[in-house]
Amino acid sequence: MDEVLRRAEERTSRAFEVIEELDLLGRWSHCGRPVLVGSVTCGLVVNRDIDLNIYCAEPEITRGFEVISDIAAVPGVLKIRYSNCLGSIDQGLYWQIHYRDRVGDTWRVDNWLVSEEHPHAGLPEALTARMQNALTTEQRKSILQIKETVQAELQARGIDIYQAVIGDGVRSPREFAVWMQDRKHCEISQWLPPEQSQLHRQAANLTKADH
């Protein structure tokens, strides 16, 4: 297996262990409907980050803190930060957990408690589903190489990298740096990869063009 893919597989496996150790899905299910999103769902983990959306009828601070207080008692939890973002574009309650796992690595867990009626409800899950269908091995390697080398330097979001690689054919960190120049993005991106049927049509068109 390619080294960059092996590293991502190991980090992804460890992320799921952390989710179990903190019982994130079980604990948040008492408050709403927890959904794992982000790089862990697609096996694209480079930074030790875990992203969770929790959907409920109405975000309540007290109910969220009831869950967080249980998580805070787990050995290895180092720090928890809270933000009330109900009045911002994010429209939710946010808790960031820092957790040191059994081998001494520190993970950041982002927890968003949002309404089922949130204007972007379901968007992260749609991104995950289409990413899982769209990703080729070559694209996966390109995404991981970009994440490992220039993401922090360019202050790029994961979705910027996914759009560049899957949507616009970027294949190297250098190409991505060029792609990022002068790009403007909103705080919540609504970009999605093409649906599987669209991908098939694009592949067929490319095949015809080659003949």
Instruction: Parse the chain into domains and list their residue ranges.
Output: 3-120, 125-198
Checking phi first, is residue 62 left (phi over 0); if not, alpha (psi -120 to 50) or beta? alpha
Checking phi first, is residue 95 left (phi over 0); if not, alpha (psi -120 to 50) or beta? beta
Domain 3-120 CATH class label: alpha beta
Q: Which residues pair with 92 in a beta bridge?
A: 114
Identify the burial level of 202 via C-beta atoms within 10 angstroms of its C-beta, where 0-12 means exposed, 13-18 middle and 19 or more buried: exposed
pLDDT number for residue 90: 86
Using DSSP, state whether 195 is helix, strand or coil: coil
pLDDT number for residue 1: 59
Which pTM value belongs to this model?
0.84
Task: Decide: 113 and 93 in contact? Cβ < 8 Å.
Answer: yes
pLDDT number for residue 47: 94
Strands 49-56 and 33-37 turn out to be antiparallel
Segments of the chain scoring below 50 in pLDDT: 197-211
3-state helix, strand, coil in the chain (%, to 5): 50, 20, 30
